[in-house]
């Protein structure tokens, strides 16, 4: 029987229930902690902030949340574990790397001068998937990869190839980050060219591109697509996300879509004042936005409860279960 790694142990795909496939606990860009004026919250305070925010999803029947934070975006496994204990949610953490411009590529790029970093990255991912992350004993349950705007850099290609090798050996899903509505077809093609089952691939942030031609160029490859940035209207408006997903649902693709928000409970670093013009563009960017606002709007447009259940329950179960 297939087992799914969570931060508190393994569960079966049937135990996932309603699942948010692409969220974060906290986020931080590399270098935040060298800013002399960054906020240094106590761990207990940060855990309470995260548990309070994430715990709100339980009233909508959510049972599982995937923390899609890669290794180089301040992934915190102990925090995931404490929040899982506090909320009773299944939390699944990731292994993997972010895209080159905003991640931490320097170490492996340096090693690539004399070493095979595809193999080294593969070995690192495999350790976290099968042995554990650091000294926590927690095993990752998904692999996260990412690409740049309009291109896949040589470094990112190596990360993807390493992820593909680890996926084939473990069977865990691969979640991706696409930048500004680009490179979805190329990601899928590269992963599948390395032998990954398309049913184990979720191409993320597909809701950042309203072109049905772009959407179909990915869906036609047999992978899942992530409409997983609802509320983040600073990058792309929800009304276009809604129009696009309605079009795909109308074409019968409920069995290929996952819903999530790519939200987080806290950004780490120096406290900053959000400009007035940005505030309304992220006002709804929360863990509960799709339940409070988006799903009611989709139903008003004719989407059925069966289709919603397919995207939130059945598709995650199939992605993890195979």
What rounded mean pLDDT belongs to the chain?
A: 97
The pLDDT tens digits for 271-306 are 888 899 999 999 999 999 999 999 999 999 999 999
Q: Which has the closest alpha carbon to 133: 88, 79, 94?
A: 94
How far apart, in whole angstroms, are the C-alpha atoms of residue 11 and residue 16? 8
pLDDT tops 90 at residue 226: yes
For residues 229-249, give the mean pLDDT.
Answer: 97
Least confident piece of the model among 27-36, 123-132, 137-146, 218-227: 27-36
Least confident piece of the model among 31-35, 67-71, 224-228, 253-257: 31-35
Identify the pLDDT of residue 170. Answer: 98
pLDDT tops 80 at residue 3: yes
For residues 49-65, give the mean pLDDT.
Answer: 98
pLDDT tops 80 at residue 1: no
Contact 15, 90 (CB under 8 A): yes
pLDDT tops 90 at residue 143: yes
For residues 216-228, give the mean pLDDT.
Answer: 98
How confident is residue 192, by pLDDT bands cut at 50, 70 and 90? Answer: very high
Burial class of residue 17, CB neighbours in 10 A (0-12, 13-18, 19+): middle
pTM equals 0.97
Identify the pLDDT of residue 199. Answer: 98
pLDDT tops 80 at residue 322: no
Domain map (residue ranges) of the chain: 4-321
pLDDT tops 80 at residue 244: yes
Identify the pLDDT of residue 193. Answer: 98
Identify the pLDDT of residue 272. Answer: 83
Q: State the architecture of 4-321 in CATH terms.
A: Alpha-Beta Barrel (3.20)
The pLDDT tens digits for 12-25 are 999 999 999 999 99
pLDDT tops 90 at residue 40: no
pLDDT tops 80 at residue 122: yes
């Amino acid at each position: 029987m297939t087992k799914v790694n969570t931060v508190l142990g393994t569960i079966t795909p049937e135990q996932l229930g309603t699942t948010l496939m692409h969220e974060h606990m906290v986020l931080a860009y590399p270098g935040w902690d060298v800013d002399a004026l960054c906020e240094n919250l106590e761990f207990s305070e940060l855990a309470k902030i995260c548990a309070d925010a994430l715990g709100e999803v339980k009233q909508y029947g959510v049972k599982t949340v995937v923390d899609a934070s890669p290794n180089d975006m301040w992934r915190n496994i102990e925090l995931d574990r404490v929040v899982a204990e506090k909320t009773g949610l299944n939390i699944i953490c990731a292994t993997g790397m972010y895209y080159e411009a905003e991640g931490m590529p320097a170490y492996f790029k340096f090693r690539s001068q004399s070493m095979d970093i595809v193999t080294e990255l593969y070995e690192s991912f495999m350790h976290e998937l099968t042995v554990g992350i650091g000294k926590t004993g927690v095993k990752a349950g998904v692999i996260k990869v990412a690409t740049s705007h309009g291109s896949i850099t040589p470094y990112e290609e190596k990360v993807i190839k390493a992820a593909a090798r680890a996926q084939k050996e473990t069977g865990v899903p691969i979640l991706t980050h696409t930048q500004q509505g680009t490179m979805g077809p190329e990601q899928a093609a590269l992963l599948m060219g390395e032998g990954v089952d398309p049913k184990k691939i979720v191409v993320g942030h597909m809701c950042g591109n309203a072109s049905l031609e772009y959407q179909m160029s990915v869906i036609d490859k047999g992978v899942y697509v992530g409409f997983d940035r609802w509320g983040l209207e600073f990058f792309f408006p929800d009304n276009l996300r809604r129009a696009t997903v309605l079009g795909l649902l109308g074409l019968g693709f409920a069995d290929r879509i996952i819903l999530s928000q790519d939200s987080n409970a806290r950004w780490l670093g120096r406290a900053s004042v959000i400009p007035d013009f940005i505030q309304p563009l992220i006002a709804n960017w929360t863990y509960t936005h799709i339940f409070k606002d988006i799903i009611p709007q989709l139903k008003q447009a004719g989407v059925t409860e069966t289709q919603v259940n397919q995207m939130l329950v059945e598709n995650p179960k199939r992605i993890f279960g195979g």
